[in-house]
Amino acid sequence: MEPQAIAYTKKKYSPILPTHQEWPVMKLAKNRKEFILEVIDASKKRIQDLTGEGSLLKEELELTMYREKLRLKENPWLVDPDDEGPFWNKIRSRLVTLANEKSTTEKDYKELLEEITSRYTNEIASNFKPNHYKFTRRLVTFGFSRLLNASRVKGFKSFWSNQYSLQDKIHITGETEHIRKLAAKGTIVMVPTHFSNIDSILIGWVISTLGLPPFIYGAGLNLFNIQLFAYFMNSLGAYKVDRRKKNLVYIETLKAYSSQAIQAGCHSLFFPGGTRSRSGKIESKVKLGLLSTAVEAQRANYQKHGDKAQRVFIVPVTLNYHFVLEAPGMIKEYLKQSGQERFYVENDEYSNSYKIVKFLIKFFTKGSDISVSIGKPLDVLGNYVDEEGNSLDKKGRVIDTKDYFISEGEVNVDKQREEEYTARLGDILVKEYHRINRVFSSHIAAFTAFQLIKKKNKKLDLYNLLRLPEEDLIIPADEYLEMFDKVREEVFKLHKYGKVGIAPHLTRSLEEVMDHGFANVGMYHAKRTLTRNTQGDVITEDLTLLYFYHNRLDGYGLEKLF
Amino acid sequence: MDLRNSSEKKVGVIGAGSFGTVIANMLAEKNKVILFARKPEIVKEINEKGTVEGRQMHANIEATGDQEYLASQCQVIFPIVSSTGFREVIRSFSPFLHPYHILIHGTKGLDLAHHLEEEGQPIRVTREDIKTMSEVILEETVVVRVGCLAGPNLAKEMAMKQPAATVIASKYNEVILEGQRLLRSDRFQVYGNKDLIGVELSGVLKNIIAIAAGALSGMGLGENARALLISRGMVETIYLGNALGGSTKSFIGLAGIGDLVATCSSNLSRNFTVGFRLAKGESLSDITATMEETAEGINTIRIMKQLIENSNVRAPITENLYKVLFEGMKVEEALQYLMKYPFNVDVDFL
């Protein structure tokens, strides 16, 4: 029995809010000054709640100053403003003076806190300009369509043909109408998986294609080092997240920014995996920091507006690729376990605009497709939400989300409770990612090959396995075919039980799917991830990359087939 | 909604068994209590005579057979029913429960998905198939603020108002605080623990060892043997508990070692009695036929045996008790086997 994969449709979506004056992010941009003040206030309050009265605030400020000075010395970036050094020098001398004066009071430290949060907030805040946004959107759509048509439509006028649009290249599937409806009723927090730096641009395009108003999102400050990205980011309402700054004051300011923006009704986007998945695995754990701001904002809305409160809807999204540009560098980093390093180390695949443009041209002129699956929207507790915005329990009964925040008949603040709710939401997101993930031919191709090699070398651990010489990496054609078939059948079974999605190309004949997988897996890397030798047997030129692409199907229990 | 406007808060208890009624009485010292009982005659007895099967009930307790009434009146509810009936009872409450409810259960048993228990089927029981009572609540209702009550709490001693202590475990501080506020008194100390699963499992797994303790006692053995059993039983509990996701720390706390010592030393406990009578030569069916309430240990041994078969956990006490209970092995034989078992390390879990 062949399963039915939902075919991709090319659909035109009209914007749900046609004029930009109505966009929530515009309201924020218009009242930027007031909003920044709100955030500063909120962050001060958060930090003081955490440090309490007494010397803890002083210690946090000193620690912040110390770490910032260290960062400036050891890990400076192009985007860092010139006045950073003088600013922190000033803070340091003030801290020294305060520590030595007898008349120093709590108030003096609060003033310093205000200065630091204010600096951070201004740095984080996005600078959304509707004209830039519209221009960028047109540029992306236009530029990409030209490249696409030039390569696919034959003939002189091909460059100006409109036969192919971006939707032929990037397929959007899943709950598209559903989130359009909910975006008109509440605030959307979109949380995609993260594999590549191109994800942000891709998601930006998806949002605008679906007719949704622009989302604000936290983009890594390192991306602003690259001018081309900086341009896109700034015009798309990105706020800046600096992963080098791990001090409490910064982290709380960032959370306050996100929470206040969601409370203001701004649709938001963040990657809860934190950074790109170095291993190529789908997120098996998510970071709870920014996610907690969604839970908090929902509670704050209930506190302010009771039953009329604006609802917050969480939308999981997976991005599915045959090819990840950064794969070689990321997997090496993963294997070195350098993810724990104190400072975030950049790798250079995206180091300059030229390389990116080169990649984009390759991407659009050659055949690799991307699909974006939009998952079912959830409330902040992880319950599914219907099209009217009602949260439903497992039996389909309507739940009032407000009740989760109620104690003794009233909505109250309980940080510990909200932490648990966030952890719960995180666990549910991980399950949803695996469920909506779309399996491509290339994923099965890589998974099968790697598992077969692993099975033949049972005694080796991963690191020794990856060091195997090339002559040990040959898989006989018929053995490969048999296992490829088995894995595909198992994926179909999982699909039948709603545990994973599949791409339409997966239901073609076995040989076709296999060839498709071979042709597409990691297709633009210098070394072929999978290919065949003259005898027709399966070989790999880069086992580490094969491992990376294989990891995409980790977490489904498929390895038990081997 | 009634609940939000009522000035007087009532506390709910589900189950009028011996432990349920003791807890209801303790809660009633400070609050109005609504006690749910399935049998109409018990509801009637409480409301008319103020007793349950002869046990005196506090005047603050009102009995009901109406799930909706209890759920609408109480924000905090203590389900205390046997593990075999637990899922069904919770399911019957489910339509009336909301996310603002707090549930703190006092049931020391496990739930195994029913279809797995059918005979003759090749089944592989994994952790996924076994649910603790808090997991049953999370599965069957929209309630998330869940906790449990566990510790050396022999119902008969508590009914006599002797001093004792218990542990309330929950991921949520507010659940622990609420439980402490409601239960704490001059003679009842309440500790908090964040490892809900670990505390639940402590209470569940100690019942296995309690049956073994009863058996030793029934054979006329003395304190050396009992001490041997308690300490080796502790090790086995920790192995099994870790395999099910509990933290070692909880097993050496009040709900773990505390409860283990109490149940293994007292002939008041039902599980102890089962072991005792087994050693005296009675069959399992005879014993269960004459017991008023379920001995949770029997069901726990059955479930754990199935799990052990599919894992690498060493659990000689559980495995041999299974043979005694269900496969007609003599208690003496089981003991001999255990004495020959090649234990080689005393403590390897810390």
CB B108 within 8 A of CB B285: no
Question: Mean of the pLDDT values across residues A340-357?
Answer: 53
Measured CA to CA, the distance from residue B278 to residue A545 in angstroms comes to: 62
DSSP per position, A410-431: EE---HHHHHHHHHHHHHHHHH
Question: Mean of the pLDDT values across residues B273-277?
Answer: 93
Q: Is B24 a residue whose pLDDT tops 90?
A: yes
Interhelix angle for B296-309 vs B196-218, to 10°?
Answer: 110
What distances in angstroms separate CA A318 from CA A177, A270, A419, one per listed residue? 17, 13, 25
Residues 6+ apart with CB under 8 A from A456: A472
Q: What is the pLDDT of residues B58-93, one digit of tens each?
A: 999 999 999 999 999 999 999 999 998 999 999 999
Query: Which parts of A163-319 fold into alpha helices (H)?
Result: 166-169, 176-185, 199-209, 227-235, 248-263, 289-305
What share of chain B has pLDDT > 70, as a percent?
94
Taking an 8 Å cut-off on Cβ atoms, the answer to whether A403 and B174 are in contact is no
Every domain of chain B with CATH number 3.40.50.720 lies at: 6-194
Per DSSP, which regions of A359-409 are E strands? 370-374, 391-392, 398-399, 406-407
- Per-residue pLDDT band for B211 (boundaries 50, 70, 90) equals very high
The letter for the amino acid at A338 is S
Taking an 8 Å cut-off on Cβ atoms, the answer to whether A407 and B100 are in contact is yes
CB B180 within 8 A of CB B190: yes
Q: Residue B34: enclosing H or E segment and its boundaries?
A: strand B32-36
Compare all CA atoms of chain B with the CA of A424 and give the residue at the minimum distance: B144
How large is the C-alpha radius of gyration of chain A?
A: 25
Measured CA to CA, the distance from residue B335 to residue B317 in angstroms comes to: 9
* pLDDT in the model for residue A41: 96
- SS3 label, residue B293: coil
Domain B6-194 in CATH 3.40.50.720: yes
Query: Measured between beta carbons, which residues in chain A are less than 8 angstroms from residue B170?
Result: none
- Per-residue pLDDT band for A4 (boundaries 50, 70, 90) equals low
Average pLDDT of chain B to the nearest whole number: 89
Taking an 8 Å cut-off on Cβ atoms, the answer to whether B99 and A424 are in contact is no
Taking an 8 Å cut-off on Cβ atoms, the answer to whether A416 and B174 are in contact is yes
* pLDDT in the model for residue A203: 86
Measured CA to CA, the distance from residue A461 to residue A512 in angstroms comes to: 33
B99 touches A: beta carbon within 8 Å: yes
Compare all CA atoms of chain A with the CA of B172 and give the residue at the minimum distance: A417
* pLDDT in the model for residue A223: 74
* pLDDT in the model for residue A144: 66
Taking an 8 Å cut-off on Cβ atoms, the answer to whether A417 and B173 are in contact is yes
Q: Which CATH superfamily is domain B198-340 in?
A: N-(1-d-carboxylethyl)-l-norvaline Dehydrogenase; domain 2 (1.10.1040.10)
Question: Mean of the pLDDT values across residues B202-220?
Answer: 93
* pLDDT in the model for residue A158: 57
Compare all CA atoms of chain B with the CA of A418 and give the residue at the minimum distance: B172
Q: Is B340 a catalytic residue?
A: no
CB A433 within 8 A of CB A283: yes
Measured CA to CA, the distance from residue B275 to residue A428 in angstroms comes to: 43
- SS3 label, residue A281: coil
Interface of A with B (CB under 8 A): 381, 383, 393-395, 397, 399-401, 403-404, 406-409, 414, 416-417, 420-421, 424
- Per-residue pLDDT band for A152 (boundaries 50, 70, 90) equals low
B10 touches A: beta carbon within 8 Å: no
Q: Which domains does chain A have, with CATH numbers?
A: 127-436 (3.40.1130), 438-561 (no CATH)
Measured CA to CA, the distance from residue A100 to residue B35 in angstroms comes to: 64
Largest CA distance in chain B: 65
CB B22 within 8 A of CB B16: no
Compare all CA atoms of chain A with the CA of B100 and give the residue at the minimum distance: A403
Q: What is the pLDDT of residues A535-556, one digit of tens each?
A: 999 999 999 999 999 999 999 9
Residues 6+ apart with CB under 8 A from A182: A188, A313, A315, A377, A385, A387, A389
Query: Measured between beta carbons, which residues in chain B are less than 8 angstroms from residue A415?
Result: none
**CA distance to partner chain A, nearest, from residue B341 (Å):** 31
Query: Measured between beta carbons, which residues in chain A are less than 8 angstroms from residue B5?
Result: 409
Q: Is A150 a residue whose pLDDT tops 90?
A: no
Closest Cβ–Cβ partner in B94, B98, B173 for A416: B173
Measured CA to CA, the distance from residue A208 to residue B301 in angstroms comes to: 58
CB A463 within 8 A of CB A335: yes
Output A4 or A532, whichever has higher pLDDT.
Answer: A532
**Poorest-pLDDT segment among A388-392, A492-496, A526-530, B48-52:** A526-530
DSSP per position, A175-219: SHHHHHHHHHHSEEEEEE----TTHHHHHHHHHHHTTPPPPEEEE
Closest Cβ–Cβ partner in A399, A408, A414 for B75: A408
Every domain of chain B with CATH number 1.10.1040.10 lies at: 198-340
B145 touches A: beta carbon within 8 Å: yes
Q: What residues form DSSP beta bridges with B14? A: B36, B79
Q: Is A509 a residue whose pLDDT tops 50?
A: yes
Within 10 angstroms of residue A382's Cβ, the number of other Cβ atoms is 18
CB A465 within 8 A of CB A530: no
Compare all CA atoms of chain B with the CA of A406 and give the residue at the minimum distance: B100
Measured CA to CA, the distance from residue B216 to residue B278 in angstroms comes to: 10
Cα dihedral B129, B134, B140, B143 sign: negative
Query: Measured between beta carbons, which residues in chain A are less than 8 angstroms from residue B3?
Result: 409
Active-site choice (B10, B108, B206, B305): B206
Average pLDDT of chain A to the nearest whole number: 86
Measured CA to CA, the distance from residue B123 to residue B130 in angstroms comes to: 13
Mutate to test the interface with A, among B10, B97, B100, B138 (most CBs of A within 10 A): B100
B227 touches A: beta carbon within 8 Å: no
Closest Cβ–Cβ partner in B142, B171, B174 for A407: B174
B9 touches A: beta carbon within 8 Å: yes
Compare all CA atoms of chain B with the CA of A391 and give the residue at the minimum distance: B142
CB A271 within 8 A of CB A192: yes
- SS3 label, residue A537: coil
- Locate tokens 């305060």: which residue? A98
Chains A, B: CB contacts within 8 A come to 43
Q: Is A426 a residue whose pLDDT tops 90?
A: yes
Q: Residue B32: enclosing H or E segment and its boundaries?
A: strand B32-36
B174 touches A: beta carbon within 8 Å: yes
Phi, psi angle pair for A438, to nearest 5°: -105, 125
**Measured in Å, how far apart are chain B's first and last C-alpha atoms?**
50
pTM here?
0.89
Q: What is the pLDDT of residues A264-273, one digit of tens each?
A: 999 999 888 8
Cα B190 to chain centroid, rounded: 17
